Structure 1
Amino acid sequence: MVKPWDLPNPFVFDLAVDNADIDELGHVNHSVYVKWLEHCAWSHSLSLGITLADYRRLDRGMAVVRNEVDYLASAYEGERLLIATWIVSVQRITLVRHFQVIRAADMCVLLRAITTFACVELSTGKPRRMPEEFATSFGGVIVAEVSNT
C-alpha cells in the first residue's frame, strides 16, 4: 500500500496511541501531537548522527521559534500512527522541518505541521550560527517542498 506522504523519502516514527494521550473528549489531545513531533525530530536527528552529547559539546541546540499545525482528523486509543518528517531548509541559523501524521489502518492524514528551529548557544540562549556538524548532517537530507494541491 502506498503511503500518502507529501514529500519523498520521509523519516518515519511509528507509535501506538496510549490511554495517557487521550483527553476528556475521548481523542488525542492537541498538545500530545506536538510532543510526538518533538520525539520524531529528535529521533531523526539521532539517525543522522547528532546526539544530545553533541549539542552539549558544541554548546548549541535547535530551539523551536515557530510551529504551524493543521489538525485534520482525530486519533483514538490503540491506533497505530506514522509520523513523518523532512528537513526542507537549512540556513546559517535556521532549519525548517515538515511533518505529517497518518493513521496506519486507513492511511488517513491526521495532521500536517511546519516547524522552524533556530540554532542557539545553550549557555546563553542567544541565536548563533549552526555548527558545521549540524549543517552538514541536516543539509545532507534536505527535501524540496512539493505543492500539496
Structure 2
Amino acid sequence: MTIRKTSDNVPMDSTLTWDQPTPFMLDVTVGDEHIDMMRHTNNVVYLTWLEQVAWAHSVQLGLGPAEYEAEAHGLVVREHRLRYEAASRFGEVLRLGTWITQVDRLSLHRRFQFVRVSDGKTVFRAETHYVCVDIAEGRVRRMPAVFLQAYSPAVMPATRPL
C-alpha cells in the first residue's frame, strides 16, 4: 500500500470537490491486500485509512502518540458514522480528506471524505466522535490544555449533514 501526504496540504487536483474547504489529505493506492471476495476494497480497510489520515492530521497539528503519552491522555472513538458511497478497486488512487468539525473540553468530532482521484467520485464519507480519556485509567477526562491549543485552531464547523 502506498500512502503519502499531499504537498503542503494543498489539493493536487483542483477538479476534486470537497464537502468542506482545505481538508488535510493523504493519498492511498488500493492494493491487492485491500480487495475482498467482492473484488472491491473491503469495508474494514476504510476504517484503517480513516485512522491513518486522522493520526497524520493530528501529528501535523503537533499531537502524535508521544505527546499523548506525555500528557497521559488520548482520544478514543465513541462513535463512527460511515457511508459507503461507491466501490473502489485495485490500483485506484484515493485522496483521503479530513477535518475537525468540533472540539470541546471532553470531545472532538472529525469528518472524512475519500475521493477517487481518476474521476473525482466520492467513495466514502464518515464522521467520528472521539472522547478524551486518561490513558492509565481508561476513564473520560477533560482534555489537557495542549490538546485544546492544538486542535481548536483547526476546527471547521460542518457545513452539511453527513
TM, length-normalised to structure 2: 0.89
Counterpart contact for 1:119–1:128, Cα < 8 Å: yes
- Asked which structure has the greater RCO (Cα within 8 Å, sep 6+), the reply is 1
Task: Quote the Cα distance in structure 1 between the aligned partners of 2:84 and 2:77.
Answer: 19
Structure 1: gaps spanning 5 or more residues: none
Matched with 2:124 is 111
Choose from 49, 57, 78 the match for 2:62.
49
Structure 2: gaps spanning 5 or more residues: 1-13
One-letter amino acid of the structure 2 residue matched with residue 91 of structure 1: D
Matched with 1:5 is 18
Moved over 6 A (4+): none
Matched with 2:91 is 78
Counterpart contact for 1:75–1:103, Cα < 8 Å: yes
One-letter amino acid of the structure 1 residue matched with residue 110 of structure 2: R
One-letter amino acid of the structure 2 residue matched with residue 15 of structure 1: V
Counterpart contact for 1:6–1:148, Cα < 8 Å: no
Give per-residue Cα distances to partners, 1:72-128, cap 9 Å, x unaligned: 100001100001000000011100000000000000000110000000010010001
The Cα shift of 1:145 comes to 1.4
The Cα shift of 1:3 comes to 1.6
Give per-residue Cα distances to partners, 1:37-75, cap 9 Å, x unaligned: 000000000111112111111111100000000001000
Partner of 1:117, secondary structure, is: strand
Give per-residue Cα distances to partners, 1:113-146, cap 9 Å, x unaligned: 0000000010010001011111111101100211
Task: Quote the Cα distance in structure 1 between the aligned partners of 2:102 and 2:116.
Answer: 26
Show the 5 A alignment for 1:1-149.
Answer: 1-147=14-160
TM, length-normalised to structure 1: 0.97
The alignment-based identity, stated in percent, is 36
The Cα shift of 1:148 comes to 5.9
